[in-house]
Amino acid sequence: MRCYFEGHMDKSLTELTETMRSKTLPIRSLITLSLFFAASTAAFAGTVAPDLSKLPAGTPVQVIVTYAPSSGATGIVTTTQNAGVNTGTRISDLPNGGLYQTTAGSSVNNLAQLPNVAHVSLNHSLEATADRATPAPSTGSATVYDYLPQTLHPNSVNAAGSPDMTAGNNIGVAIIDSGIMASSLDLVGGQGSGRNHPTVVFAKSFVPGESVDDFFGHGTHIAGIIAGDGSNSNGNAFTHDVHGVAPAVDLINLKVLDRTGKSTDAQVIAAIDWAIQNRRQYNIQIINLSLGRGVYESYKLDPLCQEVEKAWLAGITVVVAAGNGGRFAPTHGYFTIAAPANDPLVITVGAMNTRSTPSRADDQMTTYSSKGPTFGDHVVKPDIVAPGNRIFSIRLLPAGTLEQTFAGDVVPLSSYVSRPSNGMVSQYFVLSGSSMAAAATSGAVAALLASGSSNNHLSNDQIKARLMKTASKFPQTAVHITDPATHQTFTVVDDIFTVGAGYLNLDAAIASNATIPNGKNAASPVAVLGGTISSGPNKGKLILHIVNDTTMTTVWGDTTVWGDTTVWGDTTVWGDSVWMGANTTVWGDTTVWGDTTVWGDTTVWGDTTVWGDTTVWGDTTVWGDGGPPWADTTVWGDTTVWGDSSTFGAELTGDPA
């Protein structure tokens, strides 16, 4: 296969850059509006997202204008005036619409009132969902190998110590991130895989003014987790062969994060759309999104979520990092799933801590991994969890922004080399976060698809269901973890909103023949507040029902599998873990789960009971009494979660090993 590289963006996106540069707004204030036109009657005018409506009038913004498929329109705004009404100026094209410059207030409202406009929403900044790591005092060593591949293969731990050079063979994985250092020996088949071509088969930059190269360091790390073959650590001189999950994949490098690790919805949407349009040429079966941002409106309206749904419905398995908001104190980390991980169709992945051992027996959930349900829509997330704490992967050389800021996170030679020689340079970097967990899952999906004829043609819904069903289930536990850097202690409860359907088990997924019928989807369900218990020892505790969102059937075209007890019965997917509080199991009967004929697969996520801590669940601002709380600042408006990169970005410490 030939390799293709495109170092510059289309002219339209270059024009966008110049417009952005002409403004004095800081990057976190740079706001792009999105107009998403649903397939509805053209005469209806659109609505404006709550957070957008709160912006001061006159604030410079950029907008994405999208038309309903039935409208046949190619543009409604070409100048600053539209039929005498001030609306804005088109800058560039985007899938099903275009990017426009305008101002908040009357101009946005004018746009929303134009024919064929369904919705106006903000296109916020996105960033990578990885955290830095620091030494773990309990290990007695500065940095200890993560054993990620061994952890994913609990039934073949010893074999997983060396890379399976056929894993993921010829499966295309689009990494939408900060770029990839394609020259790393770990990505050029240095161990003689026999494929005779580099792992990165195509590259394109969607970042104005930047080439396809990685200047940040995050995308290269992600690529190594998915596809690194361990060439830089193979042989008798090394104590560990640092490799990825599926070395035989073809990587498609779609760069959207700049040298600071930031992007915008418009850039990510454009990259996803490119992957959709070119999926057959490059056999793109997986998209990895180890990035995210806050949730400001329903996934049903959010243009970024709508784009990942578009990819899913085109047959691509979309794997998304859950986010790193698990330490958000006001909600105990709940309701912090990022966008687009909040979309029900995609596979949303939280981060586990391998404790730097090959055995899964001592593994535990991380303190920082974001928890569900999703804000506003209350979708049950994450779907699964995977290794994501203190993960070794390819180091960007020369050093990128991450290493320049956190030089101490370079893996010491002593951590993987038995006899370091003079002048030897470490080839690996250590990061923590749901970014790493998503990458591990993308690699696992590729390995599953290439594992044999019975798995070659699995649909993305069948893959999601298979991974959830075969995931290792959690016992009814709560653990207390102390951050050695801050000395803060966090309580982590292994409930459905923290661990989802369980811990990714690639061996079990490959060995299983479980599937779901065609015509069924694996969309994540929703949690519905069912009132409170009126008497007894649990009086005042909240009751949650887990149900399928039947309102989306006409959009997705299928019915959701989880409510069909004829598929797997009632004890298969969620396991035997329980919904629980930090110290108490509250309920275990069907009054919690609702109608079991609707929700038959209680063991997909766990035969779990509901946590009734009113300090979390009793806050009506997050459950939305009187309507969804999109404009409420309790979670997403708080800069300690999304505006402050020390929480969501690349500056948090990983959990101790």
pLDDT at 160: 77
Distance, in Å, from the CA atom of 285 to the CA atom of 448, rounded to the nearest integer, reads 12
Q: Which of 119, 153, 218, 240 is catalytic?
A: 218
pLDDT at 618: 41
pLDDT digits (tens, 9 = 90+) for 546-559: 877 777 765 666 56
CB 611 within 8 A of CB 502: no
Q: Does the structure show a pLDDT above 90 at 640?
A: no
% residues pLDDT > 70 (the chain): 70
Whether 273 is catalytic is: no
Q: Which of 131, 146, 177, 632 is catalytic?
A: 177
Q: Which of 435, 442, 451, 524 is catalytic?
A: 435
pLDDT digits (tens, 9 = 90+) for 111-158: 777 777 777 777 767 787 666 554 443 333 457 899 999 999 998 878
CATH homologous superfamily of 128-503+631-648: Peptidase S8/S53 domain (3.40.50.200)
pLDDT digits (tens, 9 = 90+) for 562-597: 655 445 443 345 543 333 332 222 222 222 222 222
Whether 8 is catalytic is: no
Structure tokens at 209: 């003014």
Q: Which helix (H) or strand (E) holds 317?
A: strand 317-321
Whether 435 is catalytic is: yes
> What is the 3 state secondary structure string of 200-215?
EEEEEECCCCCCCCCC
pLDDT digits (tens, 9 = 90+) for 205-242: 999 999 999 999 999 999 999 999 999 998 888 999 99
- pLDDT band of 275, cuts 50, 70, 90: very high
Cβ neighbours around 358 below 10 Å, total: 18
DSSP SS3 for 184:
coil
Q: Does the structure show a pLDDT above 90 at 304?
A: yes
pLDDT at 582: 28
% residues pLDDT > 90 (the chain): 42
DSSP SS3 for 490:
strand
pLDDT at 495: 86
pLDDT digits (tens, 9 = 90+) for 166-194: 999 999 999 999 999 999 999 986 554 44
Q: What is the pTM of this model?
A: 0.82
Length of the chain: 657
Residues of the chain with CATH 3.40.50.200: 128-503+631-648
Q: Which residue has the higher pLDDT, 431 or 195?
A: 431
pLDDT at 412: 92
Burial label for 503, CB within 10 Å (0-12, 13-18, 19+), is: buried
Sequence-distant (6+) residues with CB within 8 A of 116 are: 37, 42, 67, 68, 71, 73, 76
Q: Which residue has the higher pLDDT, 293 or 552?
A: 293
